[in-house]
Amino acid sequence: MKLDKKIMEEKIREYRTFKSCSESTLMGLCETAEYPISQAEMCKLACGFAGGMGGTFDEGTCGALTGALMANGLLLDDEVQIKANAKILFNTFKEEYGSVCCGTITNNGEDKSPCVDCCVFIANKLADLLDE
């Protein structure tokens, strides 16, 4: 599956102005892939992962990563590949940002400046994996 990364990035950047990282990443990926799920359903699916899972920040996994993991599961049918991609996404994100913890990346939610780039980074990595 080949995703248009430019369109995907534009969608993620636009959504991130008013949606969480988990919602923005999931929506940007699924809409670019033309996956048949409504925006409302994606928001319901992803909203609990906002702010490091329920707004826990210092304890929860970054929403950009959880959004990409949800998209990975929706866009693939092969459970073995879904799990393999999930491990790659986790490790790639941790290597890039030094942590998968939302609070570590955002100073417990005080500095959300890295958020958009986190969303775009991990969405691009998933796009690459889907293209293999």
pLDDT of amino acid 68: 98
pLDDT per position as a tens digit, 101-118: 999 999 988 999 999 999
Whole-number Å distance between alpha carbons of 61 and 130: 22
pLDDT of amino acid 124: 98
pLDDT of amino acid 58: 85
Whole-number Å distance between alpha carbons of 23 and 68: 10
Q: Spell out, as residue ranges, where the chain has pLDDT lower than 50.
A: none
pLDDT of amino acid 59: 86
The answer, as to whether pTM is greater than 0.85, is yes
